[in-house]
Amino acid sequence: MGWLITKALISGFIIALVSEIAKRFPAWGALVASLPLVSILAMLWLWREKPDAANMAHHSEATFWFVLPSLPMFLLIPWLLRQGWDFHPALIAGCLLTVALYLAMAWFGPRIGINL
């Protein structure tokens, strides 16, 4: 239980740090947010709990393929905001697009040889 709390505190600290940086310096906050910190932490936690090279390789490769469908969200949201949309509907639209693209990747990826 202590390890779970440690993971949650470190992960939460990073999210809080990004939001604080972004309040003052939006581009720097975006840079920190774009770093694969969550992925690196997840790999560290996973390796500590299950040090299996094949499992880690699969996880890392699948992470790459699932990052791709999330990227259009970061173009759609600012476009919608500039079109006059309120933040929450723009965020929901971005999330819905991402979910649709994740589902497409999960369906289409294995059919073209991507091991998810």
Per-residue pLDDT tens digits for 72-106: 999 999 999 999 999 999 999 999 999 999 999 99
> Does residue 37 register a pLDDT over 90?
no
> Does residue 112 register a pLDDT over 90?
yes
Are residues 98 and 62 both part of a single domain?
yes
Are residues 38 and 59 both part of a single domain?
no
Looking at the structure of the chain, the number of domains it has is 2
Are residues 74 and 31 both part of a single domain?
no
Reduced to 3 states (helix: H, G, I; strand: E, B; else coil), residue 112 is: coil
Are residues 63 and 98 both part of a single domain?
yes
Structure-derived torsion over alpha carbons of residues 77, 81, 85, 90, reported in degrees to the nearest 10: 20
Domain ranges, residue 108: 52-116
